[in-house]
Structure 1
Amino acid sequence: MDRIIGQIAADGELNEMGVYKLKDFKKLLDTEEYKFLKEHPRLGNRIMLLGVGGSYAYGTDYENSDIDFRGITLNLPSDLLGLTKFEQYEDRKTDTVIYSFNKMIRLLLECNPNTCEILGLEKEGYVILSELGQELLDNRSLFLTKRAAKSFGGYAQAQIRRLQNAIARDSMPQAQREQHILNSVQNSLEEFHRHFASFDKGSIRLYIDRAENPQFETEIFVDANYRHLPLRDYENMWGVMRSVVSSYDKIGKRGKKDDNHLNKHAMHTIRLFMMAIDILEKGEICTRRTKEQGLLLKIRNGGFRKEDGGFLPEYFDILSDYEQRMERASKESALPEEPDMEKVEAFVEYVNRKALEV
């Protein structure tokens, strides 16, 4: 892969930012590493669109940035009329993920950030774009609703917790760290209850008391009381809390690599708010953040870090400003609360009828 990227760099044309034009990535499609795109029965001429992902999509790439692709492929007739099921294709060697059309629609209806961004690339960001793919791009407004505030905001809050957890775990005494974990878990539970608005099956109480674990001074305890709670909701709730505790406990002292990860978390937090504000204010998905590139790169390169490993107050001022802007944009947005399912279903049926003919 390094050889291929080097060849692209040798043949490519630099733009004003010193980044090779996205169109040069099309050359990768003819290499041995990417032959699966043409040969796999679920891909080939069934691919609706395929575009760059990650830093190249956001405009935060640098010389050693990884190349990854994200795309959408039509479901097979057997998926639509028979018994086969298909959600996505992944090639880990090239970091390529291609969603089935039907799964993509479900994610878009929730304004899922990772899938919304696939529909917001610049034209040059698409290395494959079929007629149906273009029609999907032309109809992306069908999926833009005020749900973006919760979806993008939820992802951003998860990034913020990662920052808080990583910084706190190195500097706080155990008892204070336990309180920090409790706060993070409670925040996660609030998001869970917001997602399940009709959640009325019982109650849960989290609190700190003298530890039973001899290695701790104090630890978090739980009192839970539920009746007639769907098992999947129960599993989801505990999964959310387990994820917070696990991510907090499994990382030890930070090294240079961990600092880089923290910087990326900090950058993506701001980027998520930027994208959400565009959707809510303008009804547009803008994945490549050209105007804010300088700010995002400064964050990623550690420009807002303190010597002790924390973040400067200026970063949190910026973060607070974007949070407030998103909250205001959500209240004032002209977007509907929910998607027009009649129009969505008509479009999905139209595409899937076409899929039967491919």
Structure 2
Amino acid sequence: MNNLTNVIKERLTKIGKDFNEKEYGFLNTDERLRTPVLITLGGSHAYGTNIETSDMDIRGISMNSADNILLGKDFEQVANEPTDTTIYSFDKMTSLLTNCNPNTIEILGVKPEHILYKSDIGEELIKNKDMFLSLRAVKSFGGYANAQLYRLQQKSLVALTPEQLNAHIVKTLNGMRDMLEMKHDMKGIQVHLKDGEIVVDINVNDYPAESIAGVLNVFNKTLNDYHKNSVRNEKAMNHGKISKHAMHLLRLYMMCEDILLKGEINTYREKEHDLLMDIRNGKYLGEDGRPNKEFFDIVKEYEVKVEYAKKHTYLPMEPDIEKINNFRKRMNLRMVEQITKRR
């Protein structure tokens, strides 16, 4: 393989994007990234919602070294904040894809011209992407969409009455609960309102105390964030983040609907581009800088679409774990053989 940054620069030049090789030198020097299999554009450039000031995100996948594969070790991910670059290990990525994680499954649905590097294993991964699609997408995309709604409401808390705020917090916590239950493989947590107060019911037996504490810590942090944001929401509004959160909320619903109804991962939102850009550019903000009724009508419309897709999808409840594990074994074995031949 040629110098990775040279390959990426060549691809980006073809689509009219700048690339500073010096800033991305770690892609060539980091030992964990010696065997990349897939490198793509990420973020707004991948969604088609970038503006002139948008940073360029890069996402990717790299195999573990032969030694790490044989020893069962995993670097999991390499994150370089200055360049907004995140490269996942192959094993970590397949685990996230199995749960239909929105931040990672989008890598398998980018436009062909947004693929900056692809090896034979990367090609196999894209070719077999359907095996990761299941009804787990409802929880994962729903959880992320609700997190966007959470951020959106944080930026405009004064628009809510105390009753509306508590109802929204309950919805947020239950959305987070779904994601936490999936992560910790636990059931039996329910958040609801009782006499106007937010309460949590927990019904689990013989469950590790550390995991329970972890869930409660996440809930506690969320509640604290709401209280902090209720004081500083005006400052946040001045940073123009409301429109961006609003746009991503709908984008997640759009991707989820495509996955459930069509079995497709469409990262670049060509059909809805104008609507998303109108939202990002503030068309659906009122004079007070907060999302208006028309925006929330659109949100409701997409919530209905996703609910319909959930009821009419042909996707299985769960992915075929055996098939995914066999795929992982084949690709890891192939990588060990390729590395061994080069020695």
Q: Give the shorter-chain TM-score range.
A: 0.7 to 0.9
The reply to whether residue 268 of structure 1 matches residue 248 of structure 2 is yes
> Which one-letter code corresponds to 1:183 in the other structure?
A
The reply to whether residue 99 of structure 1 matches residue 88 of structure 2 is yes
Instruction: Report the counterpart of residue 85 of structure 1 in structure 2.
Output: 74
Per the alignment, do residues 171 and 326 of structure 1 end up closer, same or farther by CA in structure 2, a change over 3 Å counting? closer
The answer to whether the Cα contact below 8 Å between 1:88 and 1:99 also exists between their aligned partners in 2 is yes
Instruction: Report the counterpart of residue 171 of structure 2 in structure 1.
Output: 187
The answer to whether the Cα contact below 8 Å between 2:247 and 2:276 also exists between their aligned partners in 1 is yes
The answer to whether the Cα contact below 8 Å between 2:167 and 2:193 also exists between their aligned partners in 1 is no
Alignment deviations for residues 153-194 of structure 1 (CA, whole Å, 9 cap, x no partner): 1111111122223212x356xxx54x4553344224433554
Greater shift in the superposed pair: 243-252 or 85-94:
243-252
Which structure 2 residues correspond to residues 116-131 of structure 1 after superposition, within 5 A? Answer: 116-131=105-120
In the aligned structure 1, how far is the partner of 2:204 from the partner of 2:263? 41
The answer to whether the Cα contact below 8 Å between 2:284 and 2:295 also exists between their aligned partners in 1 is yes
Per the alignment, do residues 22 and 255 of structure 1 end up closer, same or farther by CA in structure 2, a change over 3 Å counting? farther
Per the alignment, do residues 121 and 304 of structure 1 end up closer, same or farther by CA in structure 2, a change over 3 Å counting? same
In the aligned structure 1, how far is the partner of 2:106 from the partner of 2:155? 27
Instruction: Report the counterpart of residue 152 of structure 2 in structure 1.
Output: 163
> Which one-letter code corresponds to 2:167 in the other structure?
N
Instruction: Report the counterpart of residue 325 of structure 1 in structure 2.
Output: 305
Instruction: Report the counterpart of residue 140 of structure 2 in structure 1.
Output: 151
Greater shift in the superposed pair: 238-247 or 48-57:
238-247
In the aligned structure 1, how far is the partner of 2:273 from the partner of 2:177? 35
**Paired residues, what number?**
324
Per the alignment, do residues 204 and 150 of structure 1 end up closer, same or farther by CA in structure 2, a change over 3 Å counting? closer
Which structure 2 residues correspond to residues 251-290 of structure 1 after superposition, within 5 A? Answer: 251=229, 252-255=232-235, 258=238, 260-290=240-270
Runs of 4+ in 1 over 6 A off after TM superposition: 202-206, 219-226
Instruction: Report the counterpart of residue 41 of structure 1 in structure 2.
Output: 31
RMSD: 2.9
Per the alignment, do residues 245 and 121 of structure 1 end up closer, same or farther by CA in structure 2, a change over 3 Å counting? same
Q: CA deviation at 1:276?
A: 0.5
Stretches of structure 1 that go unaligned for 5 or more consecutive residues are 1-10, 13-19, 210-218
Q: CA deviation at 1:148?
A: 1.0
The answer to whether the Cα contact below 8 Å between 1:273 and 1:322 also exists between their aligned partners in 2 is yes
Q: Tell me the SS of whatever aligns to 1:250.
A: helix
Q: CA deviation at 1:83?
A: 5.9
In the aligned structure 2, how far is the partner of 1:282 from the partner of 1:85? 34
The answer to whether the Cα contact below 8 Å between 2:156 and 2:237 also exists between their aligned partners in 1 is no
> Which one-letter code corresponds to 1:123 in the other structure?
P
The reply to whether residue 23 of structure 1 matches residue 24 of structure 2 is no
> Which one-letter code corresponds to 1:23 in the other structure?
I
The answer to whether the Cα contact below 8 Å between 2:156 and 2:233 also exists between their aligned partners in 1 is no
Q: Tell me the SS of whatever aligns to 1:151.
A: helix
In the aligned structure 2, how far is the partner of 1:315 from the partner of 1:208? 31
In the aligned structure 1, how far is the partner of 2:168 from the partner of 2:70? 45
With normalisation by structure 2, the TM-score equals 0.85
In the aligned structure 2, how far is the partner of 1:282 from the partner of 1:171? 37
Which structure 2 residues correspond to residues 217-296 of structure 1 after superposition, within 5 A? Answer: 228-251=206-229, 252-255=232-235, 258=238, 260-296=240-276
The answer to whether the Cα contact below 8 Å between 2:148 and 2:249 also exists between their aligned partners in 1 is yes
Q: CA deviation at 1:316?
A: 1.0
Q: Tell me the SS of whatever aligns to 1:290.
A: coil
Q: Tell me the SS of whatever aligns to 1:71.
A: strand
The reply to whether residue 299 of structure 1 matches residue 287 of structure 2 is no
Q: CA deviation at 1:242?
A: 2.1
Per the alignment, do residues 119 and 226 of structure 1 end up closer, same or farther by CA in structure 2, a change over 3 Å counting? closer
In the aligned structure 2, how far is the partner of 1:54 from the partner of 1:194? 25
Per the alignment, do residues 59 and 71 of structure 1 end up closer, same or farther by CA in structure 2, a change over 3 Å counting? same
Alignment deviations for residues 82-135 of structure 1 (CA, whole Å, 9 cap, x no partner): 264311001111110000000001100100000011111001001111111111
